Each structure stands twice: as C-alpha cells, then as structure tokens.
C-alpha cells in the first residue's frame, strides 16, 4: 500500500456495524432465552434478509464478521451476508458475544414472569445494570452445563447468570484483543449478536450511563452503524440503516411481557 493511500485510509472513520439476530422461535413465544440455542423463525429469516439488503444498499462492505456461538446469530449473519453478496469474508465466533445468560429465567414466559415478580423486579431483572437474575441449576433442562460448543472454555469462566455489567466484563477483553484491532487495521467490521450483548457494546462505545442504557432496546435485524475515530470514539451518534423500522422494533422489545 502506498504511503499516501494508507494515510488517507487511516484518517477515514472506522466502520462498525452491529446487527441483532432476526426474530427467534423464543422471541416469538415471548420466552426468556439467554444462552438457550433456539433457531430463527420465518419472520427472523426475512429480517436477516432485510439486514443484507440494507447493507448492500448502504454501500457498506464488511471485511470481517464476528458472531456469538449461538445459532440464531450465525443463521442471521449467513443470510445477511448471502443477500449482500459477501459470504466470502472471514468469520470469527466467540461465546463472549453470546446473549446475556438469563440464569434461572431461561425458558420462562415473560408475561408470567411479570405477574410473578411485579413490574419493578421484572424490569430490574431485564434492564438493571448490575442485578443478575438467580443463577440456573446445572440440572435445569435449559442449563448449558456440558454443552460441547463451550468445551474449550474453562467451566469456571462460563456464567450461570449475568447482569449487563457482567456481560460487558466478559466482552471487553475480546473487544480489545480482536474486534478493536480489526477496526484499527481499517477493516469494516460486522458484529451479529444479541439484544443484550450489543447493548453492552453500545454502552461501552457511547459512554452512556447505566440508567441511560436501561432505556435502550435493540431491534431485530436492522444494521446499526458506528463511525469511529482513530481512538475508536464515535465521531457522531450511531445510526440505524432503517431508522423508522428500528424505532418500531425497539418499542416492541421494550413492551415485551406487558399484557396485550
């Protein structure tokens, strides 16, 4: 690369694109999901396709994909990249991008949980910064104890419940060691992950408070773009590629659990 070309590249904003997976079978059923490995619904697949169309239309060209270890994120990324004609890019997958582990709430109906706990504790479990739900027992059928996809990870590191703060704690080392490096190398990075792991990244990047992040909900399947400077600080507020659909989607996530 010529010197002047690399200098021009270095002065351009770094592009990070975040996509929450499309609707999953358990989003549709209104169940707390966390680390349970459910698949996309038909609607989720079409949301993933829409993400690919939006990417293509925007002219953003991801050079590398990061996903969690969960099928709904992997399926979404595959569909979106196929739609955007970029199936060829490199891929890295990590449990550190997994959804927040929802502890003993995994598999429970959100409306029933709202009735059981009342609105305050329900919101605390869903959106407080540092109160995790009760941990899941190893013999709970929705526990990931012994799941082979995590066999290379020290079992003492794997969570049995998490708050958003704990998600950020497990995400940041990976952000610094892998994702940030690719951005600093001027790669356009696509991260396809989950509502709460992406909220964690959002909080880290924007520096908003614990209270502010409790009001932020990420809609399914709509790319959210960050333009970052050479120290990876946002040069402007992040923006959705389809802001109207994103606002409607975020409101629907916020209302989950409420009686119809």
Ligand X SMILES: O=C(O)[C@@H](CO)OP(=O)(O)O
Q: Indicate the annotated binding residues for substrate.
A: 20-27, 33-34, 72, 99-102, 110, 126-127, 195-196
Question: Which residue, judged by CB position, is nearest to ligand X in the bound state?
Answer: 33
For residue 93, the cross-strand partners are 67
- From the list 28-36, 56-64, 111-119, 130-138, the region that binds ligand X by CB under 6 A is 28-36
On the CB side of 94, how many CA atoms lie within 13 Å of its CA? 16
Q: Which is nearer to ligand X, 62 or 195 (CB)?
A: 195
State which of positions 89-118 bind ligand X (CB under 6 A). 99, 102
x/- track of binding to ligand X for residues 31-70 (CB under 6 A):
-xxx------------------------------------
Q: How many residues bind ligand X (CB under 6 A)?
A: 11
83 counts as binding ligand X under rule CB under 6 A? no
Judge contact between 160 and 135, C-beta under 8 A.
Answer: yes
State which of positions 192-231 bind ligand X (CB under 6 A). 195-196
- Token pair listed for 132: 């995790």
Active centre residues (catalytic): 21, 99
The one-character DSSP state at 105 is: G
The torsion region of residue 85 among left (phi > 0), alpha (psi -120 to 50) and beta comes to: left
Q: What is the dihedral of CA 203, 206, 210, 212, to 10 degrees?
A: -110
For the bound state, the minimum distance from the C-beta of residue 88 to ligand X, rounded and expressed in Å, comes to 30
Helix axes 42-58, 71-83, angle to 10 degrees: 40
Q: Which spans of this chain sit near ligand X (rule: CB under 6 A)?
A: 27, 32-34, 99, 102, 126, 195-196, 253, 256
């Amino acid at each position: 690369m010529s010197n002047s070309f690399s200098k021009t590249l270095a002065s351009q904003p770094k592009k990070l694109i975040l996509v929450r997976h499309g609707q999953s079978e358990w989003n549709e059923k209104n169940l707390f999901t966390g680390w349970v490995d459910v698949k996309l619904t038909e609607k989720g697949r079409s949301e993933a396709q829409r993400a690919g169309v939006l990417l293509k239309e925007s002219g953003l060209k991801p050079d590398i994909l990061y996903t969690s270890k969960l099928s709904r994120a992997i399926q979404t990324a595959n569909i979106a990249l196929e739609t955007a004609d970029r199936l060829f890019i490199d891929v890295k997958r990590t449990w550190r991008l997994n959804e927040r582990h929802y502890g003993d709430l995994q598999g429970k109906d959100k409306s029933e949980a709202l009735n059981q706990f009342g609105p305050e504790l329900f919101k605390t479990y869903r959106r407080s910064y540092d109160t995790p739900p009760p941990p899941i027992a190893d013999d709970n059928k929705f526990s990931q104890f012994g799941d082979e996809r995590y066999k290379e990870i020290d079992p003492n590191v794997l969570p049995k419940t998490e708050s958003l703060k704990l998600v950020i704690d497990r995400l940041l080392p990976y952000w610094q060691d892998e994702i940030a490096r690719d951005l600093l190398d001027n790669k356009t990075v696509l991260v396809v992950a989950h509502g709460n792991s992406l909220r964690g990244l959002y909080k880290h990047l924007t520096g908003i408070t614990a209270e502010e992040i409790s009001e932020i909900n990420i809609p399914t399947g709509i790319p959210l773009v960050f333009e970052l400077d050479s120290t990876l600080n946002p040069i402007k507020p992040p923006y959705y590629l389809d802001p109207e659909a994103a606002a409607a989607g975020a409101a629907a996530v916020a209302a989950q659990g409420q009686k119809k």
